[in-house]
Structure 1
Amino acid sequence: MDVADNTVALVTKHCGLQLELYQKCVTQNPENWDIKCITQKRALAKCSEDNVPIIKHVKEMCDPFIKDYDACVMKNQQDPTVCLESLKRLFHCTEEHGKLPPTGPPRADAASGTSDAKAGAGYGYRGGI
């Protein structure tokens, strides 16, 4: 299982309800989901940060790039293609900081429903997610 698959598995495992509520809201509000579903989006983001260490780490390390991209998209809503360079910088940051250390993050064990907490011990995260 690669990093992305493992991350999705952990989000689904720990934040399934928040993910389901966000998906339902988006489906029910196709025209203005970005406005109508902000509460569900925030709940999913918080749960993910609290329960999936790699997400918090990447968000901390790439915060300036996230803010730059978000600001660009807000400023250029009529033509978000203007923000491709900001998006590329954000992508490169997530690629750099989303790599696993040798021990890897806690893994979702589908058979037992447990996670391997020791595997993430070497992450050095602040505040623990």
Structure 2
Amino acid sequence: MEEIIEQVGANCGAHIEAYSKCVDLNPQNWKTSCISLEKELSKCSEKYSKRLLEAKQKCSDFTAKYEACLSQNQLVPEKCILELKDLYNCTNEALKTKPAAQN
């Protein structure tokens, strides 16, 4: 996981900063206000970390459930803690598996 964070941080720092700033400036509607920045950050992250892309693909159902919950509960995102935990567990499990090229 640290390797992925380092890769994304080194290559997508400007995207991370722009997205974080947008979220901070839009606490009530960050999910809709910052969607384009979120997509740019996601694209950049996937470009520089194939393992992250693999995890995202493996956990797409959990991601969809979490995003749907956030959309329905923008003012109280705490309601989505179970969906977040499920997504976290899936991602963690997916990242434990070494990519095929490294086996």
The root-mean-square deviation of aligned C-alpha atoms, in Å, is 2.6
TM score, norm. by length of structure 2: 0.76
Flag the structure with higher helix content. 2
**For structure 2, which runs of at least 5 residues remain unmatched after alignment?**
none
Structure 2 residue 48 is the aligned partner of structure 1 residue 51: yes
Query: For residues 83 and 32 of structure 1, do their structure 2 counterparts lie closer, same or farther at Cα, with a shift above 3 Å needed?
Result: closer
CA distance in 2, matches of 1:9, 1:55: 12
What's 1:92 paired with? Answer: 89
Q: Deviations over 1:77-117 (max 9, x none)?
A: 4554443332332222111101152xxxxxxxxxxxxxxxx
Q: Assess, with a 3 A threshold, how the Cα gap between structure 1 residues 75 and 96 changes in structure 2: closer, same or farther.
A: same
Q: How many residues align?
A: 103
Pick the structure with greater CA Rg. Answer: 1
Structure 1 runs (4+) deviating above 6 angstroms are: none
Structure 1: state its 5+ residue gaps: 102-119, 124-129
Identity between Structure 1 and Structure 2 (%): 36
2:14 corresponds in structure 1 to 17
Residue 38 of structure 1: which of 18, 35, 42 is its match? 35
